[in-house]
Amino acid sequence: MTLHRLREMRAQGEKITMLTCYDASFARLLDSCELDCLLVGDSLGMVLQGQSSTVPVTLDEMAYHTRCVARGNRHAWLLSDLPFGSYQESLDQCMRSSVALMQAGAQMIKLEGGGWTTEAVHFLTQRGIPVCAHLGLTPQSVHALGGYRVQGRDADGAATLRQHARELSEAGATMLVLELVPTALAAEITEANPQLITVGIGAGNVTAAQVLVLHDMLGITAGKLPRFVRNFMATGASIEQAVRLFVSEVKSGRFPDNGQHGF
């Protein structure tokens, strides 16, 4: 998979699939199921480390897991999260952190937030580092946002998200995760920014791509799952079958179903 091919898929209306991944064994399995993208997410703080949020995850930990996934991956496009505190201080810090993840095997880095991140996106993309932005519910800012709640419900919030998406696109971002935003707003942002590969998680089925946390879609996450998550192991006889079902359901447009998994 290449960035050029992902852009072609977006232009042609072919849905793009993505799951989080944290180790070489799962990378080999997911890659064999023909997933388009793997994301080494800082969600590992919760699903692997037992943390209450993504905030404690360090850059060294992200680089370690990125190396592990890169060793097992052969075909999928590989993204890696810049963790909390690794890019907010300065452009130089952002660059150093991005280089660490790219040298570990990432093909694209992901960072959270809009407005202040525009300069960082421009800085990185001008230096040959592909960037995936992230708007809506941004887990690294969960305390400032007041918890895990839908973003952009009111007119002011929706206008801010539209503006930030446009600015991030103009700054050079190629992908944009939209997490926990109303389906209608996700559709507006996707349509208004055709050069952006929008990636939905709790944003309905209107985005160019869909992503879920691996442990969530396998039904092994402790506690109550978000309403937008589907346990694909409930109908799959094996992990491989569950992943293949996820790929098939996203490609066909059957997942997510806006009636159950949109806002």
For residues 158 and 152, the answer to whether their CB atoms sit within 8 Å is yes
For the annotated catalytic residues, the residue numbers are 179
Interval 5-62: pLDDT, tens: 999 999 999 999 999 999 999 999 999 999 999 999 999 999 999 999 999 999 999 9
**Residue 257 annotated as binding site:** no
For domain 3-261, give its CATH number from 3.30.420.40, 3.20.20.60, 3.40.640.10, 3.40.1280.10.
3.20.20.60
**Residue 156 annotated as binding site:** no
**Residue 23 annotated as binding site:** no
Interval 130-174: pLDDT, tens: 999 999 988 876 655 555 567 788 999 999 999 999 999 999 999
User: Crossing angle for the helix pair 117-125 and 155-171, nearest 10 degrees?
Assistant: 20
**Residue 81 annotated as binding site:** yes
